[in-house]
């Protein structure tokens, strides 16, 4: 599996330079650029699709009236308030139902405030109980799919290219390559699952208008 250093060196190579780094924290200009942008582009790439390796399911804990979050009770237009997992980058489904197919009044993701003044993210809904299927913030490269790694390397290259080379046309090309590798990797991953054995189709198949054929 590719290491963080491998991904950074691939991104630097995509930029059209011959430089290499030995570690992301070595202090070189190339390493500093990668260190600045890697986590940002990683999370953006994770949010872009419902990656199998980052998909988690969690039964959400309802915040009771006695909670220290805000006034405790959900706003009057909602019945229930839940704490979202701390590693949730993007909510995909509730109770295995795609969010886009639900009425707009079914849920709302909002900010709430602790008694300390710190803000947290909560889910407001009419449903109980609630199981959330979400994309988690996976930082361990050993868990990343090969297609995700490829897309990440182009995304990182698009972010650091102008800083390292001053070539804005190359940066624009790399952005297009990032989007293309994202589409290809997400389609490959979606095709690893059998839609007939799922309540909902993967997002990539929905976007392509895929309708499964059911044998008579």
List, as one string, the DSSP characters of 146-211.
HHHHHHHHHHHHHHHHHHHH--HHHHHHHHHHHHHHHHHHHHHHHTTS-GGGSSS--HHHHHTT--
pLDDT of 97 reads 65
Q: Which stretches of the chain score pLDDT less than 70?
A: 64-72, 97-105, 115, 194-216
pLDDT of 204 reads 52
- Confidence (pTM): 0.80
pLDDT of 19 reads 92
């Amino acid at each position: 599996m590719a290491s963080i250093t491998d991904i950074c060196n691939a991104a630097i190579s995509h930029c059209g330079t011959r430089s290499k780094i030995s570690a992301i924290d070595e202090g070189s200009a190339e390493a500093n650029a990668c260190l600045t942008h890697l986590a940002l582009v990683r999370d953006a790439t994770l949010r872009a699709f419902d990656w199998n390796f980052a998909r988690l399911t969690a039964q959400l804990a309802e915040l009771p009236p006695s909670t220290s979050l805000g006034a405790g009770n959900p706003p009057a237009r909602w019945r229930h308030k839940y704490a979202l997992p701390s590693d949730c980058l993007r909510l995909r489904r509730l109770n295995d139902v795609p969010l886009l197919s639900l009425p707009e009044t079914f849920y709302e993701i909002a900010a709430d405030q602790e008694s300390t003044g710190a803000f947290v993210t909560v889910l407001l809904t009419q449903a109980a109980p609630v199981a959330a299927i979400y994309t988690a913030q996976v930082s361990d490269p050993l868990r990343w799919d090969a297609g995700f790694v490829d897309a990440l390397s182009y995304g990182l290259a698009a972010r650091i290219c102008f800083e390292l080379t001053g070539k804005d046309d190359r940066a624009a090309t790399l952005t297009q390559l990032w989007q293309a590798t994202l589409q290809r990797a997400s389609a490959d991953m979606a095709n690893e699952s059998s839609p007939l054995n799922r309540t909902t189709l993967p997002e990539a198949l929905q976007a392509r208008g895929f309708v499964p054929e059911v044998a008579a």
